[in-house]
Structure 1
């Protein structure tokens, strides 16, 4: 009997030492991205909508501007050859068939041939402004998204703080479990708002840079066209 008690005591000591050296592993719940979005609360809905809106406009404008920015040296050469040969109708048809901003600008200038150069320049400039306005369509919306997305994140932060104080007043408990939900909402919405704002801002700047390059190219080609019209009179 005594030996059995000693054996039980030795076994308990051994188990205690084993548990002390190798404590039992507690399974930790994985933190999933979808769960984080859900914990962000209702503010995540407008943030996701803003992100989708900015990306849709960006890709639509990106391919449109890229198409307008393609090299039109062949068009200029064809127009130059037709004008030098006195074939204005052929030059106008070439511009009409090109269906590009530069083609429409040159077509307007060709239709004004016979008038003072200033009138031709004015007509080309007006068409150029109209074409640039078409290229810039909806780009300001991306800039607006870049500005208001962080504000929505800040609204989520305020909502999270309110939730924290509401839960504390309701339970009269300052334990971490009581305030964790508000902290989740506070941090997730702030981070999401900043991320959406940064993405929209980068997209906005890229589109503006692309438009500026197109404007420079159109202005250069317009000057070359005016010089071409002035050559016979020199």
Structure 2
């Protein structure tokens, strides 16, 4: 590995740094998203809705308080505590909280996108600088040029391109995975909160 890094030249440094930053973001987001899904939202929602349907708001708030670190529980608690508001006001309240929860999950994903975009570009830059080195060696050697004289530049050109793609491809797959999980989570929040709204606003006007 050290051989390839050395042969890749100076351009390998930002590629390696980008890969380290990207790996850190991936680990961080994986932990955060996994923590959110530790709550069985279907069971939790069913239990809270059952209490709300029976008018047991205090018990529902206690149940939400036990899971207060989870976005759905916090949103349910806020809606129940403000149940006297109009449906439109409750919808706006839950929408704000839902957007905040999604933004929290999306945090640092912009940095991951930057790593995905920059890595292959840095690889292509290494390709150009490597070819420049090779042609400069060729010009200097003239008719006496040898493969070994060109090898350094060619190594740099090929290795940096490969390194950039090796970083970008798996990181892009990770980014898509995170986005898909966040979208699914957002849809779940909308669905469960809509069910609570129906119970809290029965008979209410906008």
- Asked whether the two chains share a fold, i.e. TM above 0.5, the reply is yes
Q: Does 1:134 align with 2:104?
A: yes
State how 1:112-127 maps to structure 2 within 5 Å.
112-127=82-97
User: In 2, distance between residues paired with 1:195 and 1:107?
Assistant: 45
Determine if contact 1:108/1:127 at 8 Å carries over to the other structure.
Answer: no
State how 1:1-234 maps to structure 2 within 5 Å.
33-69=1-37, 70-98=39-67, 99-172=69-142, 173-231=144-202
User: In 1, distance between residues paired with 2:148 and 2:51?
Assistant: 80
Greater Cα offset, 207-216 or 159-168: 159-168
> Which digits, 9 at most, give the CA deviation of each residue in 1:64-85, with x for residues without a partner?
1122134223322332233234
| Unaligned 5+ runs, structure 2 | none
Between Structure 1 and Structure 2, how many residues are aligned?
A: 202
User: In 1, distance between residues paired with 2:93 and 2:118?
Assistant: 39
Q: CA RMSD in A?
A: 1.9
User: In 1, distance between residues paired with 2:188 and 2:162?
Assistant: 40
The two structures have a TM-score, normalised by structure 1, of 0.80
The two structures have a TM-score, normalised by structure 2, of 0.90
> Which digits, 9 at most, give the CA deviation of each residue in 1:136-187, with x for residues without a partner?
0011211111111110001101110121122233333321111011000010
| Unaligned 5+ runs, structure 1 | 1-32
Q: 3-state SS of the aligned residue for 2:145?
A: coil
1:232 positional shift: 6.5
